Amino acid sequence: MLTSHHPRVRFRALVSAACATVLGAGLLAGAGTATAKPEGREAAGSKVIGYFTEWGTYDRKYYVKNIQTSGSAARLTHINYAFGNVTGGKCAMGDSYAATDRAYTAAESVDGVADTWDQPLRGNFNQLRKLKKLHPGLKVLWSFGGWTWSSGFGEAAKNPAAFAQSCYDLVENSQWADVFDGIDIDWEYPNACGATCDTSGTAAFKNLMQALRAKFGSNQLVTAAITADAGPGGKIDAADYAGAAQYVNWYNPMTYDYFGAWDATGPTAPHSPLTSYPGIPKATNTTSATIAKLKSLGIPASKLLIGIGFYGRGWTGVTQAAPGGTATGPAAGTYEQGIEDYKVLKTKCPATGTVGGTAYAKCGNDWWSYDTPATIATKMAYKNQQGLGGTFFWELSGDTAGGELIKAIS
């Protein structure tokens, strides 16, 4: 998942009948044999989970109130609050000022009521509490790790029970226990390399999730964001995701960031293709390949969600409009090079084509790829056909003020 500090940023109108027909005839034709049971399919796609970033309240000025005013709150089933830290073998607060201390003005507040100096809880947590009062069915999970803070999981894996206890004590702290409905783990990556490399072994992730489930019990949610690397011997193969599946309510495979300007000279390729296409730099770097691999391991379709990026990735120094062109480096972005919010790109560099079930755009010397409402609709048709448990996206502030992308999801 994206963070704000790394080039790989892991901190990081519905589809027409014609498109649906093409999708049904082509992409979905051979996929029907491995779908969920009929009852699973009835509920397919019911979950809609959006990430809310703790740091987004600073430069981005995206507050919990914006989840309400954009219409997103009414469409979400769950919010993942990102991120808590993992350090010293324990779950820890990320930014306590943003989470619990910052005083919100009446104009910034979900319910139009300003915080007072002496109230016991302020910050994002109190704003989430207010949002849940407006939407009693909405659930919130506290997500720990992410690209930047995953290095602590190796230590945590040495004593899973102690780690689970620390997480439970933090998430269920009496000051904000009513805000959270469970925990989400975003370990990038168990027994593999992310910002740092982990060597804790194949069983470490399963053991960690087992301990969390034992501590949080059956009534709280325990979920995990997991790698989308479906290549032979890739990150999915490095950990026992199938064995851990029994302990999670669902997985969020990060089906985006397959390609990007960390490969500075290209070839240009969309960061979140649904399917392969002629000339794709790596055939297994697609959403459908990731889902197929996870299902082949025996993970139930109902426990797999499809991931959507509310942002684009781009290169500059590109002369070719079609994918596969050369580049000279990452395109300029508002907060970091090579990445930009959908809300900016839709007007700055409108989509000029689609490939592999997602969109791309060339404007000037820049080449971007991102999902649009139309390509999200294509992905939702795939999700439903596969009997998946729902959709999650990174992250809420990338959408338009009117919630254009979340409307395409739901």
Residues carrying an active site annotation: 188
The token pair at 311 is 């942002």
Residue 302 to residue 389: CA distance in whole angstroms: 4
The token pair at 83 is 């991120």
The token pair at 43 is 């509920």
349 φ, ψ to 5°?
A: -150, 75
Distances (CA, A) of 77 to 181, 339, 376: 12, 27, 18
Going by the DSSP 8-state scheme, the letter that residue 263 receives in this structure is: S
The token pair at 108 is 């910034």
Going by the DSSP 8-state scheme, the letter that residue 71 receives in this structure is: T
Q: What is the dihedral of CA 138, 379, 23, 326, to 10 degrees?
A: 170
Going by the DSSP 8-state scheme, the letter that residue 98 receives in this structure is: I
| Cβ proximity of 187 and 224 under 8 Å | yes
378 φ, ψ to 5°?
A: -60, -45
First to last CA, the chain: 22
Residue 113 to residue 356: CA distance in whole angstroms: 47
Q: What is the dihedral of CA 132, 188, 250, 67, to 10 degrees?
A: 20
User: In sequence order, what DSSP letters do the residues of 361-376 get, joined into one string?
Assistant: EEETTEEEEE--HHHH
Q: Helix, strand, or coil here: 80? A: strand
The token pair at 356 is 């592999």
| Cβ proximity of 331 and 65 under 8 Å | no
Q: Of all helices (H) and strands (E), which one includes residue 162?
A: helix 160-171
Q: What is the dihedral of CA 130, 135, 137, 140, to 10 degrees?
A: -40
Distances (CA, A) of 214 to 73, 161, 246, 303: 31, 9, 12, 19
